[in-house]
């Protein structure tokens, strides 16, 4: 099933462009408590349901990055076998940024539309306005369960751990060989940075690693 998530603000047009550009089976609208957004969500649902497209509305805090990212995670978990896309054109900049970040973390296809109100875009067809963004190689689904445990443990310690092999061995009951393997994998995924000081191996969560770890801990 083709499921599209769309951030929704004061105008319906970005969502309607997505419906014109793709064949969609279900749309999930991330709307806010502003009356314009509420009205737009209701009007869009009424419109798409006439075309047999399923419509779901999800209220979000437009200024809370964690709230948006975690709700996107929940949507992803509810649609494990569906083809997910995210339309980040509408809503506040924080909504768009959060949705983009969630798409990158979860490995979901993200797109937006050029502003068709600008003179240089007014004569363009919908497909010419569409911009699809590349999916990064690392996403939430690529993180091994052991790596998730290590990341959460590191986050609880402030994101930086000295003598990482010894600490993970003592606290997570993992063999040092297993820890070394996963640390190498996490470094390749740009989740951590590794520094060697003498005989000590120091691991530090990257910004992406911290965000993943926060999501995992709050999940």
- Give domain limits for the chain: 2-135, 143-218
Residues 6+ apart with CB under 8 A from 15: 6, 8, 27, 29, 40, 44, 87, 89, 90
Q: Minimal CA–CA distance to 140: which of 212, 195, 61?
A: 212
% of the chain exceeding 70 in pLDDT: 98
User: Once rounded to an integer, what is the mean pLDDT over residues 174-203?
Assistant: 89
pLDDT for the residue numbered 176: 86
Would the pLDDT of 21 be above 90? yes
Element (H, E) at 69: helix 65-78
pLDDT for the residue numbered 120: 83
pLDDT averaged over every residue in the chain: 89
Burial of residue 98 (number of CB atoms within 10 Å: 0-12, 13-18, 19+): buried
Would the pLDDT of 216 be above 90? no
Would the pLDDT of 211 be above 80? no
**Three-class DSSP category at 130:** strand
What tokens were used for 183? Answer: 């640390």
User: Once rounded to an integer, what is the mean pLDDT over residues 175-186?
Assistant: 92
Alpha helices per DSSP H over 117-201 = 126-129, 145-156, 164-172, 176-188
CATH class entry, domain 143-218 = mainly alpha
Would the pLDDT of 197 be above 70? yes
pLDDT for the residue numbered 65: 86
pLDDT for the residue numbered 135: 72
pTM attached to this predicted model = 0.71
CATH class entry, domain 2-135 = alpha beta
Higher pLDDT, 102 or 22: 22
At 18, is the pLDDT very low, low, confident or very high (cuts 50, 70, 90)? very high
Strands across the sheet containing 200-205? 160-161, 200-205, 192-197
Would the pLDDT of 84 be above 90? yes
pLDDT tens readout for residues 90-144: 988 899 988 988 888 888 889 999 987 788 878 888 899 999 987 766 777 788 8
Would the pLDDT of 207 be above 80? no
133 and 111 in contact (C-beta within 8 Å)?
yes
- As a whole number of angstroms, the distance between CA 29 and CA 89 comes to 12
């Amino acid at each position: 099933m083709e499921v599209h998530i769309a951030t929704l603000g004061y105008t319906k047009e970005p969502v309607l462009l997505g419906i014109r550009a793709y064949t969609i089976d279900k749309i999930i609208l991330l709307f806010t408590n502003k009356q314009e957004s509420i009205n737009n969500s209701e009007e869009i649902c009424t419109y798409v349901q006439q075309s047999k497209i399923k419509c779901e509305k999800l209220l979000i805090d437009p200024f809370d990055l964690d709230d948006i990212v975690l709700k996107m995670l929940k949507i992803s978990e509810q649609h494990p076998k569906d083809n997910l896309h995210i339309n980040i054109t509408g809503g506040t900049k924080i909504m768009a940024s959060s949705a983009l970040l969630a798409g990158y973390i979860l490995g979901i296809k993200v797109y937006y539309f050029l502003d068709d109100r600008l003179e240089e875009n007014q004569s363009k067809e919908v497909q010419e306005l569409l911009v699809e963004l590349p999916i990064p190689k690392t996403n939430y689904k690529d993180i091994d369960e052991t790596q998730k445990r290590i990341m959460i443990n590191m986050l609880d310690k402030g994101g930086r751990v000295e003598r990482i092999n010894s600490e993970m061995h003592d606290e997570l009951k993992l063999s040092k060989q297993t820890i070394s393997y996963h640390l190498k994998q996490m470094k390749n995924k740009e989740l951590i940075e590794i520094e060697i000081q003498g005989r000590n191996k120091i691991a530090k969560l990257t910004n992406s690693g911290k965000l993943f770890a926060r999501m995992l801990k709050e999940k």
